[in-house]
Amino acid sequence: MPDLSSATHDHPAVVDQPPALSAMRILAAALVCGAAVLLFAVHVRPLGYVPLVLGVALGLVVDRKLGRDLGLIALGQVIISTISLKADLSNVGMLKFTLALGLAVVVPTVLSSRVFHDDTIHFPVRTGRRWDRWQALYLVAVAFAAYLILPAYFLGSGVWQNWPDLDGTGDVARLFVGVNAVGIWDELFFICVVLALLRPHFPFWLANLLQATVFVSFLWELGYREWGPLLTIPFALIQGWIFRRTTSLTYVVAVHLLFDLFVFMVLVHAHDPSMFDIFVTAPAP
């Protein structure tokens, strides 16, 4: 069983550093995580790789372990950037997603544990604790909010068109698999890899803000555009906070998949209004 102690406490190492050194540590992390905006949101390449390199280099100068951990985060982003994140339900498209996103989690994890002999990255599926009442109530709240907000967002803004057309039940099934697979991956990478690597170096609030920057940028390229960041920013921050509170990957994945269930239904409804015609906030045709 992985050691979960690091998931339950803040790591305010940055507070103990001299002001100038603290500023450099923050700048290094901001360059690496902020590069996601260029790589995925603005899609400026190869310019977007420049802050990745500068951030890792600065991190190594300031603190070797900081630079090493930022290097793992940067490596994950580089791997992701090798493919287009535009939704693609073809066999080739789904294979590309599987390989690139899978490697973005596996490679930093293996390097951290096997090469650097560090147990910072872990995936706490079984915590040995039952869910509290607030966790059950929160799932209900997530379902209610998703039911009300997502139809207005996807249909009202037209972002549903960022996903491919659905040609029959086969494509609907592929969409279901894809939406859920990416939802699980989001928590593996952004929470268990990016946030985990940042927390030993920064107070939780700052580490969470940095991981949310990468998270939201990724979702923008995936298709959550227009006023999507008004949803994805708080979602990314809350997911990080919930993981800190529960230390349970299982729970944050459950929250994400519940939310994505409504994403799936709204996308199907957008392509075929006769399906999942249950949304009271869906704009009139």
For the chain, domain boundaries: 5-271
Per-10-residue mean pLDDT, the chain, length 285: 42 50 92 98 93 98 96 98 94 97 98 95 89 95 98 96 94 97 98 97 96 98 95 98 96 98 98 95 86
Distance of alpha carbon 129 from the chain centroid: 25
- Please give the structure tokens belonging to residue 167: 């040609």
The pLDDT of residue 21: 63
Contacts of 16 (CB under 8 A, 6+ apart): none
The pLDDT of residue 250: 96
Q: Helix or strand or coil: residue 3?
A: coil
The pLDDT of residue 285: 72
Round to whole Å and give the CA distance between 123 and 58. 29
SS (H, E, C) 127-180: CCCCCCHHHHHHHHHHHHHHHHHHHHHHHHHCHHHHCCCCCCHHHHHHHHHHHH
- Please give the structure tokens belonging to residue 252: 């944050």
The pLDDT of residue 136: 96
Closest Cα to residue 66, out of 142, 13, 135, 4?
13
Round to whole Å and give the CA distance between 33 and 207. 10
Round to whole Å and give the CA distance between 187 and 247. 12
The pLDDT of residue 15: 45
The pLDDT of residue 19: 53
Question: Residues 94, 178: contact at Cβ < 8 Å?
Answer: yes
The pLDDT of residue 4: 43
Round to whole Å and give the CA distance between 236 and 66. 23
Q: What single DSSP character describes residue 13?
A: G
The pLDDT of residue 17: 55
Task: Please report, for residues 107, 230, 232, the alpha-carbon distance to residue 236 in angstroms, rounded to integers and kept in the order given.
Answer: 23, 11, 6
Place of tokens 């957008």: 270
pTM higher than 0.85, yes or no? yes
